[in-house]
Amino acid sequence: MLDVDEARAGEGGEPPPGGSRRGLFGFLFSGSGWPYLLVPFIPLAVAFELAHASPTLIFFTSAIGVVPTAAVMGTATEELADRAGPGIGGLLNVTFGNLPELLIAFFALREGLHEVVKASIIGSVLGNVLLVLGGSMLVGGLGRDRQEFNQKAATSQAAMLILALAALTMPAVFELVKGGDLPLPGDELVTFDHAVEELSLIVAIVLLVAYAGGLWFSLRSHRDLFNPPDDGDGVDGHGWSIRRAVIVLAVAGLAVGLMSEILVGSIAHTAESMGLSEFFIGAVIVAVVGNAAEHWVAVYVAAKDKMDLAINIAVGSAAQVALFVGPVLVLISFFVGPNPLALVFNGFELAGVVLAVMVASHVTSQGESTWFEGLMLLALYVVLAASFLYA
């Protein structure tokens, strides 16, 4: 359920060591290699930042630069997890699997952009359960009558999302019942009283405990549900040594941190120059960019009729964000930024996440999918994104 980076292993490998130019080009233009074509955007973003270029240009180059760094981090984490065993491997995936999203949100917290942080959390959940899952079902279902996947594993993932949904909506309900107001989409920072901040802290701790339980459930006690027998169609890794994986992970971590800081620093100016709200940028653009490489992998494996992997990546990533990334950001906010992050979402975010989780739970409950169900998920995502645009 929660071992998302491990699920990536089945979709392809790297070119043979010392392989030919043809092998390298074949890898770069394959389903697993395309993110590395975007590496030049990393030095471009740094150069534009140092040259004080247009904030919009800086924003988009740094956003694209996040994609290859996230892909490299996913590969390095996967290699370490394969060698450390399922227990430590799960911990590594928790720590590094969502590092790009965490770093982007960390710098936004430091700048006091609390509403951007909350928008990115909700946007990431919506992107995974509607855009990614919908795209996977649509592409995978084309030319096929239906695709099947592990119903029990999908139901467990959906249950975790429903738990997260209930917990994340309660601070907003508390604020409304006490006579307060929800944030507006155009806000950057909204302050709440200590009771709401303390309630958000309690919710965050409970969700982290639930996430730890989910790790134990999926990696130890019921591992067979989430790790079906290998069909022999994938690759078990790239053969990296532990030293190589650690070095690559460290370098990629520095790169994604640099790209995240540049990205966040240009959000406000980009929103103003393009006439977009920071809410839309956080909920749609930043959320999609932070998971772009992982999103593509889900669609790619679905096209190869590996829906168990696609479901694991799409719904599992949404669970990670809701149960781990969001709560960790709440804890961090008590030490970073102007004031603690209260989990009080605006009306668009609440409506979007309620609809998304309900629909995703329904379409995954039967253990099979069709291209039409994927089209319906994508249609809902477009409607929500359009609503965010005009909010």
Look up the CATH number of the domain holding residue 35. Answer: 1.20.1420.30
Cβ density class 214-245: b for 16+ within 10 Å, e for less: bbebbbeeeeebbbeeeeeebeebbebeeeeb
132: number of CA atoms within 13 Å, CB side?
A: 33
Cβ density class 321-338: b for 16+ within 10 Å, e for less: bbbbbbbbbbebbeeebe
Which tokens go with 268? Answer: 């406000």
Give the whole-angstrom CA distance, residue 255 versus residue 257: 5
CB–CB of 215/335 below 8 Å?
no
CB atoms within 10 A of CB 362: 11
Q: Please write the tens of the pLDDT for every residue from 47-73.
A: 988 888 888 888 888 888 877 877 777
Residue 101 has pLDDT above 70, yes or no: yes
Q: Please write the tens of the pLDDT for every residue from 27-51.
A: 555 555 667 778 888 889 889 888 8
Give the whole-angstrom CA distance, residue 290 versus residue 288: 6
- Look at residue 237 in the predicted model and tell me its pLDDT: 54
Short-list 349, 345, 380, 351, CA closest to 132: 380
CB–CB of 341/115 below 8 Å?
no
- Look at residue 81 in the predicted model and tell me its pLDDT: 62
> Mean of the pLDDT values across residues 351-355?
92
Q: Which domain holds residue 209?
A: 4-390
List C-alpha distances in Å: 227 to 223, 320, 361, 368.
Answer: 6, 17, 21, 18
Render 219-238 in DSSP notation, one character per residue.
Answer: IIITHHHHSPPP-S-S----
> In the chain, how many domains are there?
1
Residue 362's pLDDT band, with cuts at 50, 70 and 90, is confident
- Look at residue 349 in the predicted model and tell me its pLDDT: 92
User: To 5 degrees, how large is the angle CA 288–CA 107–CA 97?
Assistant: 50
CB–CB of 115/188 below 8 Å?
yes
CB–CB of 214/2 below 8 Å?
yes
Cα 195 to the center of its chain, rounded Å: 29
Helix (H) and strand (E) counts for the chain? 20, 2
CB atoms within 10 A of CB 19: 12
Render 108-144 in DSSP notation, one character per residue.
Answer: HHHTT-HHHHHHHHHHHHHIIIIIIHHHHHHHHHTTS
Q: Please write the tens of the pLDDT for every residue from 286-342.
A: 777 766 666 777 787 788 888 887 887 788 888 888 899 899 999 999 998 788 999
Give the whole-angstrom CA distance, residue 16 versus residue 62: 30
Backbone angles phi, psi at 368, to 5 degrees: -155, 160
> Mean of the pLDDT values across residues 106-111?
85
Contacts 24+ apart (CB under 8 A), 384-388: 384/126, 384/130, 384/348, 384/352, 384/355, 384/356, 385/283, 385/284, 387/348, 387/352, 388/185, 388/277, 388/279, 388/280, 388/283, 388/284, 388/348, 388/352
Short-list 283, 96, 253, 66, CA closest to 186: 283
Amino acid at 133: L
CB–CB of 131/352 below 8 Å?
no
